[in-house]
Amino acid sequence: MTGTIRTYGFAVVGCGMISDTHIDAITQIHNARLVAVCDTREEAARAKAAQYGCEWTTDYEALLQRDDIHIVDIIVPSGLHAKLGIMAAEAGKSVICTKPLDITLEAVDALIEACDQNGVKLGATHQLRGYGVYKHVRQALNSGRFGKPLYANAFVPWFRSDAYYSDGWHGTKALDGGGALINQSIHYVDLLLWLMGDVKSVCGFADALAHDTIEVEDCASAALKFTSGAQGLIQGTTCTYQGHEARLEIHGTLGNAVVVGDQLMLWEVEGEEHTWNPDAGQVGGAADPRKGMSGEAVPAHVEQIRDVIAAIAEDRPPLIDGREARRAVELILAIYESSATGTIVNLR
């Protein structure tokens, strides 16, 4: 596909809860048009199509044969991402995929290769990179205002009920691939990598502590050594009583920043005005994923989906392409490996 297409036709595959955020973003992009939605559940596809005034189908293969669809946005269970993405690439469609790209590096790499071989673009949505507070922290880090980065932590003390895990795929090894880390905390794992750079080695633990029916972890903890020499901690759960907002900390020789619930709680940088907001993160979806999207979620998705369109037109990789999105999957799988083997896992 070349950049001569003025309006890009989208198909959204998967009509679950998060699809509304993606579709709302698509409808706000001037050169994007929602053509159709697809789901294996006819009632879900029909309802979503009626909501947004587009076509619907349960036949994914037929959908891929349409000439008016240029980009396929995949929002299905994690273990199906690469399979459906490869099918789209082989049909000449560019792919946007929600997190994670898939649940194994083999599947992720196969998806990346399929897009490369078929000359289509692969983009991922890690929407927190589009939030103003994290852009602010990254700019300060990159400009040296924190001095030498020393350590960074991500804590995601969330809660998910047993009912959440009763949908047939959450909490399963086959389709979820993991639990609290790869499904929920991956947002903040991605942020740590974006802010601090690659991880050299990791030591982790992952267990099911409170949910007896799931095959994966509801609590995971890991210690990190970044390639820069900085250290870090990750702790992600879906078993915290009542659930609390995620917390990201950056500490350097000249400054500290703490973000709670995607709001700045502490800004303490040498030579700059000190900020302290103890009320940060009081509203959010820590215990209910339906309440988890802040007011920045749709604009952040607009930014990332629009970038994929621009990448097609300009024939360049998207800013969050397959290789960039692979990094968070690699780190999480290394934590799982460390937990299973009881060893430190080296990534670099």
CB 208 within 8 A of CB 202: no
CB 124 within 8 A of CB 112: no
234: enclosing H helix or E strand: strand 231-237
The pLDDT tens digits of the residues spanning 156-204 come to 999 999 999 988 899 999 988 899 999 999 999 999 999 999 999 999 9
**Rounded CA separation 304/156 (Å):** 23
**Rounded CA separation 133/155 (Å):** 17
In the structure encoding, which two tokens stand for residue 45, read together? 């596809």
**Rounded CA separation 248/257 (Å):** 8
For residue 343, report the phi and psi dihedrals to the nearest 5 degrees: -130, 165
Concatenated DSSP letters for 79-128? GGHHHHHHHHHHTT-EEEEESPS-SSHHHHHHHHHHHHHTT--EEEE-GG
**Rounded CA separation 71/313 (Å):** 12
In the structure encoding, which two tokens stand for residue 153, read together? 């932590």
| Full-model pTM | 0.95
Give the CA count within 13 Å in the CB-facing half-sphere of 316. 7
Domains within the chain, CATH numbers bracketed:
8-126+298-319 (3.40.50.720), 129-291+330-346 (3.30.360.10)
**Rounded CA separation 14/308 (Å):** 19
* Strand-strand pairing, 231-237 and 149-157: parallel
Residue 110 buriedness (CB in 10 A; 0-12 / 13-18 / 19+) = middle
Q: What is the mean pLDDT of each run of 10 residues along the chain (348 residues)?
A: 74 96 98 98 98 98 98 97 98 98 98 98 97 98 98 97 91 91 97 98 97 95 98 98 96 98 97 94 72 82 98 97 98 98 97
The pLDDT tens digits of the residues spanning 251-296 come to 999 999 999 999 999 999 999 999 999 999 875 668 777 665 668 9
**Rounded CA separation 92/225 (Å):** 40
Burial letters 220-244, b for 16+ CB under 10 A, else e: bbbbbbbeeebbbebbbbbbbeebb
What lies within 8 Å, CB to CB, of 40 at 6+ separation is: 58
CA 134, 136, 140, 146 dihedral sign is: negative
32: enclosing H helix or E strand: strand 32-38
CA 274, 245, 25, 64 dihedral sign is: positive
